[in-house]
Amino acid sequence: MTGGRSAVAGELVVDGVGRIPGFVNSYTFSEGSETYLIDTGFARRAKPIVRAFETASVSLASVSKVLLTHHHVDHMGGAAYLLETTRAPISCHRDDVPFVDGRSKSPMPLLMRLFVRTHPAPVAVTLNDGDRVGPLQVIHAPGHTPGEVVFYHAPRRILFSGDAVVERKGGLTLPAAGYASSLDQAVQSLSRIRALDVETLLPGHGVPVTKDVGSRLDDLIRRAPHDFLRR
Ligand SMILES: [Zn+2]
Ligand SMILES: [Zn+2]
């Protein structure tokens, strides 16, 4: 606990924001009396998340909302289990809802489909571009999946970027092309993200980026058409 603020589950990144690392990052975000969990990891029983809350002596029941950046199982694998545990409603973008609740099969590369089990979860709140979830703004950034969203906290210039932009070796990049629903759209979405004033970028994969986010995005935007699109 610092400066009278409540403890957060996960590694403290900035005040009120905890990172729960794993194959994918989940984040906790606390402001006022609300605690949100952004993405739920691969594991069906959400072990890394459960452990992070235990370690911080924070009750999982304090989670008031579960926000999904997109429908891939590494981001929503623990959602159904966490719903049972926390009763916190699950939100995701309209275009990814049928993949999260199991009405449509998740379009994954063949290897993933053979080896990875999905764990459908009911979506209580359908998000659209421009919606607000408490202090967070929902920005549709499709391309990695049809309903990929990023969550932006304008006053504190924090961006939860999901897989719309990820970190690798100190730089920003897009996830592997094989997972994208539309690489064209994924590249276009980078401009939407660049238009935001971001100081702290919290990606779905890799480590948080707290320096030169703008210039790193510019670099990615310059490279992306050559690196990701065959023209
Ligand atoms: Zn993904
Ligand atoms: Zn991912």
Q: What is the pLDDT of residue 4?
A: 47
User: Token pair of 58, please?
Assistant: 């924070």
Q: What is the pLDDT of residue 231?
A: 56
First to last CA, the chain: 52
28 within 8 A of 10, measured Cβ to Cβ: yes
60 within 8 A of 38, measured Cβ to Cβ: no
Q: Are strands 125-127 and 90-93 parallel, antiparallel or unpaired?
A: parallel
**d(CA 144, ligand 1 centre) in Å:** 6
Residue whose entry in the numeric block shows the structure tokens 């702290």: 200
Q: Which residues contact 112 (CB under 8 A, 6 or more apart)?
A: 73
Q: What is the pLDDT of residue 92?
A: 98
Q: What is the pLDDT of residue 150?
A: 98
Long-range contacts from 17-21, C-beta under 8 angstroms, 24+ separation: 17/158, 17/200, 17/202, 18/52, 18/56, 19/202, 19/208, 20/48, 20/49, 20/52, 21/48
Q: What is the pLDDT of residue 5?
A: 58
Fold of 11-228: Metallo-beta-lactamase; Chain A (3.60.15)
Looking at this protein, which amino acid is placed at residue 107?
P
DSSP-derived letter for residue 208 is -
**d(CA 74, ligand 2 centre) in Å:** 6
C-alpha dist (Å) from residue 188 to 44, 128, 150, 205: 33, 18, 14, 20
CA-nearest of 88, 45, 52, 92 to 72 is 92
Question: pLDDT tens across 24-51, in order?
Answer: 999 999 999 999 999 999 989 999 999 9
**d(CA 182, ligand 2 centre) in Å:** 15
User: Token pair of 32, please?
Assistant: 């006022």
Domain coordinates of the chain in residue numbers? 11-228
Ligand nearest to the CA of 166: 2
**d(CA 73, ligand 2 centre) in Å:** 8
User: Token pair of 109, please?
Assistant: 């590369």
The DSSP H or E segment spanning 48 is helix 47-55
**d(CA 203, ligand 2 centre) in Å:** 9
**d(CA 177, ligand 2 centre) in Å:** 12
Q: pTM here? A: 0.95
pLDDT beneath 70, residues of the chain: 1-6, 109-115, 231
Measured CA to CA, the distance from residue 121 to residue 77 in angstroms comes to 9
Estimate to the nearest angstrom the gap between the alpha carbon of 39 and the chain centroid: 5
